[in-house]
Amino acid sequence: MTASPPEFRELARRVGLAPDPTARGPVPLNRYYEACNAMHVALPDLTTGSAAAYLVQFGYVSGPDNVEGLWAGTDALAGLLFRAGDVAVAFVNASDILARRRFTAAHELGHAVLHREVMGSVLEDATIEETDGPLAAMEAEANRFAAELLMPEVILRARADELRAAHGCCPRVVLGYRLASELLVSREAIGYRLKNLGVGDGE
Ligand SMILES: [Zn+2]
């Protein structure tokens, strides 16, 4: 089991959002965004170019020159984070399914909180692997932040206890199926998280 990053604990404290196992439903991601003075935007067929156009259109940068290098980008992206001072705008790909968009948004918020000193003004994520496999350090950190945010350990353990109390057993695959629906995360993401934390029975 890995401990929460201190930055995440500080953020959760600031947001005042201790996960409540008696409440059902997905974690209110937007409240974390608000606490970070950040916003997220879903653009269809996200590219660096479409993100740059949005930033110009809505006045986050004064013109294309300020996002030089981004402007002509046509490669499809899962996510992109833009920072200017204390403001952060995360872009997610509107073509992705909801669970994927939520994970991407949480991952980008992780970059905004954890990597503000090192990321510069733009950070692009061509793909975001919801995995425990070897990843670049910043990607792994942003994933861990997203997992902590969207799949709080206390909720996972509470649902496991409920399942065991009702049925006498707690197969990880069944628990994962239920939690994916409740928390609006992918089956893969919750599967890795449950396995990491050792919650539920099975491989
Ligand atoms: Zn990333």
Q: What is the mean pLDDT of the chain?
A: 86
| Strand arrangement of the beta sheet that strand 122-125 belongs to | 38-43, 87-93, 79-84, 122-125
| Count of residues making up the chain | 203
pTM here? 0.89
Question: Which chain residues have CB less than 5 Å from ligand 1, an ion?
Answer: 125, 139, 142
Question: In angstroms, rounded to a whole number, what is the distance separating the alpha carbons of residues 125 and 48?
Answer: 10
139 C-alpha vs ligand 1 centroid, how far in Å?
5
- For the chain, report the end-to-end CA distance as a whole number of angstroms: 16
Amino acid in the structure at residue 73: G
Predicted confidence (pLDDT) per residue in 19-40, tens digit = 888 889 999 999 899 888 899 9
Amino acid in the structure at residue 60: Y
Is 173:203 a contact under the CB 8 Å cutoff? Answer: no
163 C-alpha vs ligand 1 centroid, how far in Å?
34
57 C-alpha vs ligand 1 centroid, how far in Å?
25
**pLDDT for residue 128 is more than 90:** no
93 C-alpha vs ligand 1 centroid, how far in Å?
13
